[in-house]
Chain A
């Protein structure tokens, strides 16, 4: 049996029944990584010592009959979530040797539920990008075609899940960074409602948009991980004091009578015909399961990308000010303080990060604030209101996750604007703070995965998980594996 292929629920059963050991599972994954990660390049750091230590502890728990929710399950963590004692780089030279003295809330919670940290995955530097090509170290490859990018910024986590280099992973999503790579790699990616999951320990890119979520092999695993990482955290005042249901409970429930909104702004002339066809077929499938498609409009969609790139870069310009070479991380020398600052940041940050810091600094500058930041906040409100209005008449909204399937490495690096448009279908969801999931819904003629995005109401992850599960159970897309 190829243990590395297992999902969380499958592995959990075998572990609890003592048919396999945690060590066997971990060995299998590390062997898998050894044989293919030189091609995929999903990991920045493998935490082997720590992993085997955690595996031993997990096995002990299992042997004593005290197995926890994900006892012994090896999970990969995007390298922008702090793990105590394990290097956390954000795929940036400026944090290349940063070892956090504290643990993020999400990994603490995984820990409390028995996980095994297999390693830290690659991303676009500070989560800024849609392809991992902005990583300060290397580009991760799409397991379906290693000439292509896996999407981003959580490209390492998505590729690791798709290539069976881990059982599941966590990613973070600021403008589509979980959903777009999940879509491009043919796996399940969920961005929870803003405030559902604590951001404490997630290295901030854009504080008002960032949210951590699971990247998994199937919908059930997504619900399992969401159960663990959700909930109010006293260390994050933006985490909402909202009750957390058991998200696995709704899986398998009927979707009959559910109204699914189809926004016309997401199906436009000239869009990739294979994507359009797959998504429309998926909608038909949902309809055949009893859902009722409703045509809707989200009129301010066209402003989403511009709004996002003003707000996200503004926040980023401030969030990244702390990397100044004074306290931790990379420091370049200089003849005085100003030179140390300039050299440190010039040498420590990559081109895209610098571009966004400059954009954001500009947008917040006195004299420009009203025209950019403030205007963008107003546009954000309009986009949010679009969704609120739509949800008066529908239960969820269905769209493509990404306008294209995985593109070739280097194809868009020369044109940032073209790259920014990769997130055109995912960005509005972050601006509105609502949850959305991407699930596999087909393949292109090149055998590249296509993703279906299901968007839900605030704090209603249950509905989108339920619909995603119903769709997944009636299709086989999620069972396909890349040839590596």
Chain B
């Protein structure tokens, strides 16, 4: 039997606010344990939460960017459970009336557009962290993270393949980063993903029993964890057993998911409206203002790149996957670069060099204009495409302009025909056997001659002229 998977994702995104969601403490990452805490986020007796308006704004922004309906009346709820990293014994979250509902994002998989529904986006506070190393029989608790604002973005069970899930995560991450509401770093935990997975025979309408997979803590594991879980469920069913409703943990070292707790051990969170916070009322006017302030989002930008710059869809999508990458591209084009050439250099050499150093485009020292100027040197024949690669690498490393590099290293292309002729003649006279074979029809040898000439001219000979001249002389 053939099966299809039904997947829904619950994504937790840490918001990039300066202060926590219910107190004034800093949200900075990596400080000494418990230095960014106060009576409110430690859960002292008698303290009260007060909503950070920025967190609300960020949630609304995200809702608008994912086509959600924004609730003008929404409220917080308490999710009750005991854990040492949860200082109040409850997490302030949203339950019945979330701030955003009924949205979607679009992804492209195998050249087809798929719309993934977003059930809801709600705000909540993060918990602290338990530290087990170095504490003997005890554990330490660090509450710096307690109270950092989170958004939980819950998708509809619209995802059918691990690849779609990965594309959805990528798209969501791009949107969050475009909006500047989350840095999207899965490894550091500022973007987290839990997946609800079930399978059913192709053609069946009813959903199968689902398992929740937690701890997918890296982008590359989204697909892997889901692939594993789907295979596991298919195996269970084909062996005549039943998938049980449970929470499973993804173990990236073993590459498997393992049962964490079953349905009967599931928490009863005893949600009820948070009485310490008044309901959130949002004026339509403010929503409109936020809407007007939204940046151009990845989908719109990609479409524009394709139409305005005549880029292939693939290029447009790739260049708009990161806002800063898109901005780099546009700056280079604005400085006079030919769009497709700029795109090729960014997607090729620049990406390669950045990846080698594990750097992001934001950390790139090279200015877009410098690429454009190098491209001009290629266009006017000063350097060849081959030399350009050398120049670009040098430019990337030193941040010197292409022209300076070309001058300093003497890389100007030789287009002087008499100089090239000299080199051509020399190569022909030194390789009589090859000349004979070429004339006898072994045309592949043309490359050999070009290579020899380039070697002689240190790669500076204009390849077009070399080509023409060789063909003439060997005819």
A7 at the binding interface (Cβ < 8 Å) = no
B89 & A102 in contact (Cβ 8 Å cutoff)? no
A202 CB to nearest B CB, Å: 5
A365 & B44 in contact (Cβ 8 Å cutoff)? no
CB contact between A315 and one of B47, B82, B275 (< 8 Å): that residue: B275
Contact partners of B141 in chain A: CB under 8 A: 326-327
CB contact between B48 and one of A235, A317, A324, A337 (< 8 Å): that residue: A235
CB contact between A327 and one of B80, B87, B268, B277 (< 8 Å): that residue: B87
Contact partners of A82 in chain B: CB under 8 A: 44-46
CB contact between A203 and one of B46, B51, B87, B275 (< 8 Å): that residue: B46
A444 at the binding interface (Cβ < 8 Å) = no
Contact partners of A43 in chain B: CB under 8 A: none
B46 & A369 in contact (Cβ 8 Å cutoff)? no
Contact A321/B89 with A82-B45, A326-B141 known, Cβ cut-off 8 Å:
yes
Contact partners of A234 in chain B: CB under 8 A: 50
B50 & A100 in contact (Cβ 8 Å cutoff)? no
B48 & A200 in contact (Cβ 8 Å cutoff)? yes
Give the CA-CA distance A326 to B43 in the complex, in Å: 11
B272 at the binding interface (Cβ < 8 Å) = yes
A327 & B50 in contact (Cβ 8 Å cutoff)? no
B43, B45, B82, B141: most-surrounded residue (chain A CB, <10 A) = B45
A85 CB to nearest B CB, Å: 13
Query: Scoring B residues 6 to 48 as 1 if CB is less than 8 Å from chain A, else 0, what string do you get?
Result: 0000000000000000000000000000000001001111111
B34 CB to nearest A CB, Å: 10
B46 & A237 in contact (Cβ 8 Å cutoff)? no
Give the CA-CA distance A320 to B51 in the complex, in Å: 22
B38 CB to nearest A CB, Å: 8
Q: What is the total number of residues of chain A having a CB less than 8 Å from a CB of chain B?
A: 45
Taking CB as reference atom, which chain B residue is nearest A88? B45
Contact A237/B80 with A95-B45, A100-B45 known, Cβ cut-off 8 Å:
no
Taking CB as reference atom, which chain B residue is nearest A101? B39
B90 at the binding interface (Cβ < 8 Å) = yes
B82 & A321 in contact (Cβ 8 Å cutoff)? yes
B84 at the binding interface (Cβ < 8 Å) = yes
A201, A237, A341, A373: most-surrounded residue (chain B CB, <10 A) = A237
B275 & A207 in contact (Cβ 8 Å cutoff)? yes
CB contact between B272 and one of A88, A98, A318 (< 8 Å): that residue: A318
Contact partners of A327 in chain B: CB under 8 A: 42-43, 87, 141
Give the CA-CA distance A369 to B276 in the complex, in Å: 19
Taking CB as reference atom, which chain A residue is nearest B45? A203
B50 CB to nearest A CB, Å: 5
A238 at the binding interface (Cβ < 8 Å) = yes
Query: Scoring B residues 141 to 164 as 1 if CB is less than 8 Å from chain A, else 0, what string do you get?
Result: 100000000000000000000000
Contact A366/B44 with A208-B275, A315-B275, A318-B80 known, Cβ cut-off 8 Å:
no
CB contact between B78 and one of A88, A318, A369 (< 8 Å): that residue: A318
A308 CB to nearest B CB, Å: 14
Contact A322/B80 with A208-B275, A237-B48 known, Cβ cut-off 8 Å:
no
A364 at the binding interface (Cβ < 8 Å) = yes
A238 & B276 in contact (Cβ 8 Å cutoff)? yes
A254 at the binding interface (Cβ < 8 Å) = no
Contact partners of B90 in chain A: CB under 8 A: 318, 321
Query: Scoring A residues 314 to 332 as 1 if CB is less than 8 Å from chain B, else 0, what string do you get?
Result: 1101101111101110000
B88 at the binding interface (Cβ < 8 Å) = yes
B44 & A337 in contact (Cβ 8 Å cutoff)? no
Interface residues of A in 218-275 (CB under 8 A from B): 234-238
Contact A365/B43 with A200-B48, A318-B78 known, Cβ cut-off 8 Å:
no
B272 & A364 in contact (Cβ 8 Å cutoff)? yes
B278 at the binding interface (Cβ < 8 Å) = yes
Query: Scoring B residues 260 to 292 as 1 if CB is less than 8 Å from chain A, else 0, what string do you get?
Result: 000000001011100111100000000000000
Give the CA-CA distance A324 to B85 in the complex, in Å: 11
Contact partners of A101 in chain B: CB under 8 A: 39, 44
A179 at the binding interface (Cβ < 8 Å) = no
Give the CA-CA distance A98 to B45 in the complex, in Å: 9
A322 & B45 in contact (Cβ 8 Å cutoff)? yes
Interface residues of A in 301-349 (CB under 8 A from B): 314-315, 317-318, 320-324, 326-328, 337, 341
CB contact between A328 and one of B44, B48, B82, B268 (< 8 Å): that residue: B44
A104 at the binding interface (Cβ < 8 Å) = yes
Contact partners of A199 in chain B: CB under 8 A: 46, 48
Query: Scoring B residues 64 to 101 as 1 if CB is less than 8 Å from chain A, else 0, what string do you get?
Result: 00000000000000101010100111100000000000
B46 & A202 in contact (Cβ 8 Å cutoff)? yes
Give the CA-CA distance A373 to B44 in the complex, in Å: 26
A399 at the binding interface (Cβ < 8 Å) = no
Give the CA-CA distance A200 to B84 in the complex, in Å: 24
Taking CB as reference atom, which chain B residue is nearest A329? B45
Contact partners of A134 in chain B: CB under 8 A: none
Contact partners of B82 in chain A: CB under 8 A: 321, 324, 341
A53 CB to nearest B CB, Å: 23
Interface residues of A in 341-395 (CB under 8 A from B): 341, 361, 364-366, 369, 373
Interface residues of B in 95-151 (CB under 8 A from A): 141
A318 & B270 in contact (Cβ 8 Å cutoff)? yes
B44 & A321 in contact (Cβ 8 Å cutoff)? no
Contact partners of B51 in chain A: CB under 8 A: 237
A237 & B50 in contact (Cβ 8 Å cutoff)? yes
A86 at the binding interface (Cβ < 8 Å) = no
Contact partners of B277 in chain A: CB under 8 A: 237-238
A204 at the binding interface (Cβ < 8 Å) = yes
* A positions within 8 Å CB-CB of B: 80-82, 88, 90, 95, 98, 100-102, 104, 199-204, 206-208, 234-238, 314-315, 317-318, 320-324, 326-328, 337, 341, 361, 364-366, 369, 373
Ordered nearest first, which 9 A-B pairs have the shortest CB separation? A321-B89, A207-B275, A364-B270, A208-B275, A203-B45, A203-B46, A201-B46, A322-B43, A102-B39
Known interface pairs A318-B89, A324-B84, A373-B272; 16 further A-B residue pairs with C-beta atoms within 8 A, sorted by A's residue number: A80-B46, A82-B45, A98-B45, A100-B45, A104-B46, A201-B46, A207-B276, A234-B50, A235-B48, A237-B276, A237-B278, A238-B275, A315-B275, A320-B89, A323-B45, A327-B43
